Amino acid sequence: MKQQSPVKKVLNTLRPYRVLLGFAVLFALVSVSLTLYIPVLVGQAIDHIIGKGNVEFADVARILLYIAVAVAGVTVCQWLMNYFVNLVSFRTVRDLRRAVFRKFNSVPLSYIDTHAHGDLISRVINDVDAVGDGLTQLILQLFSGVVTIVGTLIFMLMIDWRIGLAVFVLTPLSLFVAGFIGKLSAKRFREQQLLQGEISSFVEEYVGSQRVVKAFSYENQSFEDFDKFNTELYTVGFKAQYAGALANPTTRLVNAIVYAAVGIIGALTVLSGGLTVGGLSCFLTYANQYTKPFNEVTGVLTQLQTGIAAAARVFEVLEAPDETPEASGNSPAHRGEVRFDDVSFSYTPDKPLIQHFSLNVKSGTHVAIVGPTGCGKTTLINLLMRFYDVNGGSISVDGTDIRDLRRDDLRARFGMVLQDSWLFHGTIRENLRYGNENATDEEIVAAAKAAYAHSFIRRMPKGYDAVISEGGGNLSQGQKQLLCIARAMLSNPEILILDEATSSIDTLTEIRVQKAFAKMMKGRTSFVVAHRLSTIKESDVILVMRDGNIIEQGNHEELLAKKGFYHTLYHSQFGGSK
């Protein structure tokens, strides 16, 4: 099936606004019709000025009144046409931005992980804006331009078909010139939009990592890196704008030559008596109006090319494959039993990670997962939550394959506290209620107390109504993690996942939080990913992973007695012998 062009895809998004477009077309027809009628009136007025002392003032005054009414009508209709065109354009931009943002929630997590976040942000903001600007110009030129070209051609053929035919044949030469230049510049505009996405990603990364940049005195190097991107964007942007700007003066030159030729031919026709002076004036005005749409299109060619390149990037996101379809099933059991059955998974086909992994976790079991960095600990959590789907084997919860469960139903069973504390811009109360939107204020305070977050929240100027800045920038890392722990406690999950949940908390608070976790995990299945082995000694089962496989399994005492890899890991942290 032939792939549609970005322009056709954008035009397809206009279908819900056909009525508004109809009004725009109507006012464009009226505006152009009145505009075409004005030269006729002017020509008539000229013909009523027969010579010195023979001016028919009454007729000229009457015609001037008609011209004034026509000009007023053109002004009103053009305003209304622009109003409806902008209405359609802005609503389409709104719809596109909604669609792209909604798409972020439906694509697999792998799509987000493999695309620079700044580039995705640029697509939903900068590229959609560029589409809107290009769409406005395209609709305006399309509506008024087509009507103007058809109308003026009809009038010219009615006045003198020979001159009209000459204009019709010669004027499209400017289109060939504009099309040739457009093809040359299209590649530059695509490169320009791509570089804008890359520079947005670069800036977003460095703004979010300013503490690291300053800690390593990387300011000068980061500026040099930015300057390389910026210089490349300047070079490509300059070439794109320069190439696009060539179209307008070139087509104006071609049209000026056509206009001069019409003037000469028309003057000779007047001298031969085949045309009146007023008719020549009218004809020259039409010849100018006929070429005007071609000039206007080439005048905004740069904007149109930018919009087309931006549209291609926007639809690249919208056409990305969604997650596998939602299942309609639901597991009636809520025991918290988890089973990994011969699971295999890799992020990329050429780098296998987890191979033939099997594990049966009974309800209420506390499972700890340890191992060196990159062995697959967090990947197991990603698979369990269906952030990624397994390549082989299956994972089941309470006897039901998780692929047969709705993702929302599956994830509602889990409470997660990750090493990367995620908080959004809003009050502490709003952030905590993210774990349970129906939680009462009393339940929020109880969860905060259980997570040992209540004391520092109370010391803040507005307590639970204190506003957290973007990413929790006005809180310490430990405070952010305590809030995330409180949020997980508030969700009251069936299965608890702790991925380095206390990595940023001081030792004293960690002991307290571990006690709170112990209460919370009582009777619940839990998975704890930890590097600090002191935090998982009381676990029912400790899984020791290496290169995506479980190489040892047992409780703390059993694994130490085996004197295997866990024994080595444990004593590398604490030294001595048990």
Cα angle 274, 280, 285; round to 5: 150
Residues 24 and 39 in one domain: yes
Residues 298 and 336 in one domain: no
Of 285, 318, 351, the last residue of a domain is 318
User: Which residue is associated with the tokens 């800045």?
Assistant: 469
Residues 266 and 329 in one domain: no
For residue 340, the enclosing domain spans 325-413+527-578
Of 318, 352, 369, the last residue of a domain is 318
Q: Which one, of 274, 286, 288, 258, lies nearest residue 38 by Cα?
A: 286
For residue 544, the SS3 value is strand
In a domain, 343, yes or no: yes
> Is the pLDDT confidence value at 574 over 70?
no
Of 301, 318, 335, the last residue of a domain is 318
In a domain, 107, yes or no: yes
User: Domain of 60: which CATH number?
Assistant: 1.20.1560.10
- Biggest CA–CA distance in the chain, Å, is 124
Residues 297 and 334 in one domain: no
Residues 242 and 148 in one domain: yes
Residues 388 and 242 in one domain: no
Ordered DSSP codes for 52-96: TT-B-HHHHHHHHHHHHHHHHHHHHHHHHHHHHHHHHHHHHHHHH
How far apart CA 45 and CA 231 sit, in angstroms, is 58
Residues 152 and 246 in one domain: yes
pLDDT band at 1 (very low <50, low <70, confident <90, very high): very low
In a domain, 349, yes or no: yes
For residue 540, the SS3 value is coil
Residues 219 and 342 in one domain: no
Looking at per-residue pLDDT, the higher value among 546 and 295 belongs to: 546
DSSP strand pairing (426-427 vs 525-529): unpaired
Residues 253 and 360 in one domain: no
Q: Which one, of 367, 397, 365, 340, lies nearest residue 527 by Cα?
A: 367
For range 11-26, the mean pLDDT: 87
pTM: 0.67
Residues 375 and 312 in one domain: no
Checking 356-360 for CB contacts under 8 A at 24+ apart, the result is 356/393, 356/549, 357/393, 357/548, 357/549, 357/550, 358/393, 359/543, 359/550
In a domain, 434, yes or no: no
Residues 66 and 137 in one domain: yes
> Is the pLDDT confidence value at 52 over 60?
no
How far apart CA 540 and CA 368 sit, in angstroms, is 8
User: Domain of 382: which CATH number?
Assistant: 3.40.50.300
Domains contained in the chain, number: 2
Task: Give per-residue pLDDT as tens, 532-553.
Answer: 776 777 788 888 888 777 788 8
> Is the pLDDT confidence value at 335 over 50?
yes
Residues 110 and 236 in one domain: yes
